[in-house]
C-alpha cells in the first residue's frame, strides 16, 4: 500500500458517515477497524454510535408523527403493515446502536489497557 493510499484510507475511516445507508457504511468501517491505531478505533466507533443514535431518533420521530395522524378507515389495513415496517426499522436501528455501543465500550477498555502498558505511563512504570 502506498503512503497516499494509506492516507486516503485513514481519511475515509475517520470521516463522518454519509447520509445514505449509515448502517452499511458503519459495518464497512468496523470490518477494517483492526488496521487503525487504537486511538482512532475509539474515535471511529464514537462517530458510528453518534450516527446510529441520530438514525434511531429519526425513526422514533417519524413513528411518533405517524401515530399522531388520523388514518381513514379504508386505509387502516394498509397502514398497519406500513407502520409495522416502520417499527421493524426502528427496532433494527435500536439493536444496531446497541451492538456498536457495546463494541465501543470494549474498545475503550482495550484502549485504556493499551495506554496503561505504554512506555511512560504510570502503570507501565510500576506506580
Please report, for the chain, the start and end positions of each structural domain, with discontinuous segments joined by +. Answer: 3-115
Q: Are 119 and 53 in contact (CB under 8 A)?
A: no
**What's 2's DSSP letter?**
-
pLDDT (tens digit, 9 = 90+) per residue, 78-125?
999 999 999 999 999 999 999 999 999 999 999 888 767 767 655 555
Question: What phi and psi, each to the nearest 5 degrees, are found at residue 119?
Answer: -55, 135
Mean pLDDT in residue range 24-37: 95
Select from 16, 6, 1, 75 the least CA-distant residue to 49. Answer: 16
Using CA atoms, how far apart are residues 104 and 110, in angstroms rounded to an integer? Answer: 10
Q: 44 exposed, middle or buried (CB, 10 Å; 0-12, 13-18, 19+)?
A: buried
SS (H, E, C) 40-106: HHHHHHHHHHHHHHHHHHHHHHHHHHHHCCCCCHHHHHHHHHHHHHHHHHHHHHHHHHHHHHHHHHH
pTM over 0.85: no
In the predicted model, is pLDDT for residue 126 greater than 60? no
Number of Cα atoms under 13 Å in the Cβ half of residue 57: 6
What is the C-alpha separation between 107 and 42, in angstroms, rounded? 6
Asked whether the predicted pLDDT for residue 37 surpasses 80, the reply is yes
Amino acid at each position: 500500500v502506498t503512503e497516499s493510499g494509506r492516507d486516503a484510507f485513514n481519511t475515509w475511516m475517520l470521516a463522518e458517515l454519509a447520509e445514505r445507508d449509515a448502517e452499511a457504511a458503519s459495518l464497512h468501517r468496523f470490518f477494517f477497524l483492526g488496521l487503525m491505531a487504537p486511538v482512532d478505533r475509539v474515535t471511529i466507533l464514537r462517530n458510528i454510535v453518534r450516527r446510529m443514535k441520530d438514525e434511531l431518533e429519526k425513526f422514533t420521530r417519524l413513528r411518533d408523527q405517524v401515530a399522531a395522524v388520523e388514518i381513514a378507515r379504508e386505509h387502516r389495513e394498509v397502514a398497519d403493515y406500513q407502520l409495522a415496517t416502520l417499527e421493524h426499522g426502528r427496532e433494527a436501528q435500536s439493536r444496531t446502536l446497541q451492538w456498536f455501543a457495546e463494541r465501543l465500550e470494549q474498545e475503550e477498555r482495550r484502549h485504556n489497557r493499551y495506554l496503561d502498558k505504554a512506555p511512560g505511563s504510570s502503570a507501565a512504570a510500576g506506580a
